Amino acid sequence: MKKALLYFGLLLLSFSLLTACGPSLEKSSTESSNNSSDSEKYFVIGQATSLSGGTASYGEGAKRGIELAVKEFNAAGGYNGVKAKYIAYDDETKPEKNMELIQRLVSQDKAVALLGSANSGNGLAHIEYLQKNKIAEVFPYGTATAITTKFKNEAKNYVFRIAPFDQGQVTTILDWLYKKNGFTKVGLLHDTSGYGQGGKTDVLAQLKERNIKPTAVESFQIGDNNMESQLSKMKKANIEAIIVYGLAPEMAQVLKSAEKIDYKPKFIGSWAFGDPAFKNIAGDLVNNDVYFVQSFTVDQNEKTKEFHNKVVNEYKEDMYPIATAQGYDAANIVLSAIKKVGYKDTEKVRDAIEELNDFNAVTTAPSKPFTKDNHEALQPEHMFIATYKDGQIVIAK
Amino acid sequence: MTQAILSGLIIGSIYALIALGYYITHLATKTLNFGQGDTLMIGAIIGLSVFSSLKVMGLATIWAFLITILAVIVAQSIIGYLIERIAIKPLKNFDSISWILSTVALSIIGRNIAEVSWGKTVQPFPSPFGSNIIRFGELSIYPHEIFVLITTFIIITALFLMLRKSVFGKSLQAVAHNRDAASLMGINPRLIAIVAFVISTVLAGIGGIMIGPITNVAPFLGLALGLKAFGAAIIGGLDNPMGILIGGLSIGVIEQVVALQNSALKDFSVYFLILVVLIILPQGLMGKKVKEKY
């Protein structure tokens, strides 16, 4: 028995040694605060989001934008000298952990407002708790449409978003395909996860409203590595453009399979195509006519270029430009509201967010991002289609 | 259709390779490593780590790849040895079915450690043979896939010959047939068990290097592959390597051809086939019909 235990220890050690030599992209950091020390007076804005797991790049990207916004807010004197402290916890993309961390942020850390979680499912699971506790939350991602509409009929809805929501993204995609480019043969390829199925429902519903039938609808499973069969059928049907709804690893496999069967349609999808994980896996294939929804690209204007340079100066890279920009804007929305009404009354913070009318966003969000009935800062008119050029995300011409 | 069959044969040959690992341990010890899929994942992760590190160091691709294969074989041998010592040996009696739980437990531990130390992110595994597609009329294939097909058939043939012709192969079968009698003939059943697990784990590791460039690498890579490979062993017959090869190739081809008709039924078709075979031919297509005595 002792020997078995010894072997078990050895096995654990060898597993960890062998796997630890691999490249790891994820950080296990759980807390990130700005320059304010504990002895100083500060208020907390918090976040429970994916810093590891499938959506880690979204979490890390936005976290950097939020850190920048907090740093600038504090450098400008904070709120009457009281500085902001940003606490970010890693929910590992697990709903139960996310809920636990949200409760901790509210009850223990006394957060005055929160920034949303990367995973829509996690967001949907915890917003009721914040609604009950009257704490405002601004999502810089988490694009499920229901997040901002779940409490829209209540006297006060505490959930806001500055990210392209799913239905808005679909509208933008369909406008680009049918109005701008006049495609007639369009296919839909989606994964069978909640995200892909949600995308399918939105696409089919909006196509129905436009009296259009997709030429083909095909699906793939999470973890699938060969989509040749689905794509061969689409190739045979002469489909010119394919709407892809899935996540980075499988979307990269879609491009790989298309390349293999020598099929060159236009691929268009949600902002998931902009995920650095997708580019990392797909490599040069990203330059093969891939189009997707964005609210921010570095080449958009001088302001976006300047913001990009600021991010590069701070972090030596701009790993996920749109996530960082939306994180920056989301944090600035909260901090602008606090600057107006202080941080002591969370309900007032929520009201100030809704009433904000002089906001200066780095994304395409307007100066008055929200109204009582609209908690989406980015409407379809603020979304646009981008593409990859030499591996860089640029506005699609 | 031809393209779907070709793609099915490629992935199917990897299922067969992994499934042979089940065959060898089953032959020698009547136990299986139910974590075979995760053992493959560990092999793929080690392979990618070593290969990319050597490439960064500026080593030529071919040398980097050969050293990677060697490193994976060594590392997997150690892991195979440890799996036998921890999950199989302490159970004393092979007839007990506790090994199902112990091998599954080890595989979960391995997967979690890989997640913690390597991250959950999917990583691309660049093929040492490049990514230029070779086209023959309607058919297209990556050089890596040709490598997979050829290597799998060489490994399977070599294994087949070794088991049938060599002294070691005969010892393996002797232990399987009658442990006590084999022991009296000077064969060490414990050593045979260890070697069987080492071969099984090394096969999974090589499978990992072969499949990495096709599927990319992540800690959850092995789960579905291990299950489908087990399906290949069930369909072909757990005691017949030729049957396992046919089982693996059939699963690969069936899932691709079904996806051509309806992609949603791809996995369903495989597991449905496994169920049908289990009901009609529980010993598999080419397995020996043995009446179990209790």
- pLDDT tens across the length of chain B (294 residues): 788 888 899 989 989 988 988 888 888 777 888 888 899 999 999 999 999 999 888 888 889 999 999 999 999 999 999 988 888 777 766 566 777 888 888 889 888 888 888 877 788 888 888 888 888 887 888 999 999 999 988 988 888 888 888 888 888 888 877 878 888 888 888 888 888 899 999 999 999 999 899 888 888 888 888 888 988 888 888 888 888 888 999 999 998 888 888 777 888 888 888 888 888 877 777 777 666 555
Average pLDDT over residues A230-242: 92
Split at pLDDT 50, 70, 90, the class of A32 is very low
Indicate if the pLDDT at residue A184 is higher than 50. yes
Question: How much of chain A, in percent, has pLDDT values that exceed 70?
Answer: 90
**pTM for the predicted model, two decimal places:** 0.79
pLDDT at residue A36, rounded to an integer: 45
pLDDT at residue B95, rounded to an integer: 61
Neighbours of B60 (CB within 10 A): 11
CA distance A116 to A176: 29
What confidence tens digit (pLDDT) does each residue in A260-278 have? 888 999 999 998 899 998 9
Q: Which residues pair with B182 in a beta bridge?
A: none
pLDDT at residue B93, rounded to an integer: 63
Using the Cβ of B107 and the Cβ atoms of chain A, whether some distance falls under 8 Å is answered with: no
What confidence tens digit (pLDDT) does each residue in A48-91 have? 998 887 788 899 999 999 999 999 999 999 999 999 999 999 98
What is the least distance, in Å, from the CA of A200 to any CA of chain B?
A: 14
Least CB–CB distance from B85: residue in A7, A226, A252 = A7
Using the Cβ of A244 and the Cβ atoms of chain B, whether some distance falls under 8 Å is answered with: no
Record the tokens describing residue A225, joined without a space: 């590595």
Using the Cβ of A26 and the Cβ atoms of chain B, whether some distance falls under 8 Å is answered with: yes
Split at pLDDT 50, 70, 90, the class of A206 is very high
**Which residues from B are below 8 Å from A228, CB to CB?**
3-4, 7, 256
pLDDT at residue A30, rounded to an integer: 38
Using the Cβ of A283 and the Cβ atoms of chain B, whether some distance falls under 8 Å is answered with: yes
Query: Treating both helix axes as pointing N-terminal to C-terminal, what angle do B98-118 and B36-56 enclose, rounded to 10 degrees?
Result: 30
Average pLDDT over residues A281-294: 91
Whether residue A261 and residue B140 make contact (CB cut-off 8 A), yes or no, is: yes
Q: Which long-range contacts (CB under 8 A, 24 or more apart) does A202-211 make?
A: A202/A145, A202/A166, A202/A167, A202/A170, A203/A170, A203/A173, A203/A174, A203/A243, A203/A245, A206/A167, A206/A170, A206/A171, A206/A174, A207/A174, A210/A174, A210/A178
Q: Which residues pair with A138 in a beta bridge?
A: A115, A160
Whether residue A4 and residue B90 make contact (CB cut-off 8 A), yes or no, is: yes
pLDDT at residue B30, rounded to an integer: 79
Using the Cβ of A109 and the Cβ atoms of chain B, whether some distance falls under 8 Å is answered with: no
CA distance A87 to A48: 9
Amino acid symbol at A129:
Y
pLDDT at residue A84, rounded to an integer: 94
Chain A contact probe: residue of B121, B123, B255, B260 with most A CBs at under 10 A: B121
Q: Nearest 5 degrees, angle CA A330-CA A332-CA A336?
A: 125
**Diameter over CA atoms, chain B:** 60
CA distance B24 to B193: 9
pLDDT at residue B116, rounded to an integer: 82
Q: Nearest 5 degrees, angle CA A167-CA A172-CA A176?
A: 145
**Which residues from B are below 8 Å from A260, CB to CB?**
133, 140-142
Using the Cβ of A25 and the Cβ atoms of chain B, whether some distance falls under 8 Å is answered with: yes
DSSP state of B123: B
CA distance A287 to A295: 20
Chain B contact probe: residue of A3, A16, A18, A189 with most B CBs at under 10 A: A18
pLDDT at residue B31, rounded to an integer: 80
Whether residue B263 and residue A281 make contact (CB cut-off 8 A), yes or no, is: no
What confidence tens digit (pLDDT) does each residue in A325-383 have? 999 999 999 999 999 999 999 999 999 999 999 999 999 999 999 999 999 999 999 99
Indicate if the pLDDT at residue A39 is higher than 80. no
Candidates A238, A248, A142; CA nearest to A191 is A248
Tell which B residues from 36 to 65 touch A, by Cβ distance under 8 Å. Answer: 42, 45-46, 48-50, 52-53
Using the Cβ of B112 and the Cβ atoms of chain A, whether some distance falls under 8 Å is answered with: no
Indicate if the pLDDT at residue A23 is higher than 60. no
pLDDT at residue A10, rounded to an integer: 60
Q: Which helix (H) or strand (E) holds A140?
A: none
Least CB–CB distance from B82: residue in A1, A7, A261 = A7
Whether residue A53 and residue B120 make contact (CB cut-off 8 A), yes or no, is: yes
pLDDT at residue A26, rounded to an integer: 38
Whether residue A19 and residue B124 make contact (CB cut-off 8 A), yes or no, is: no
Record the tokens describing residue B166, joined without a space: 């060599």
ipTM computed for the complex: 0.75
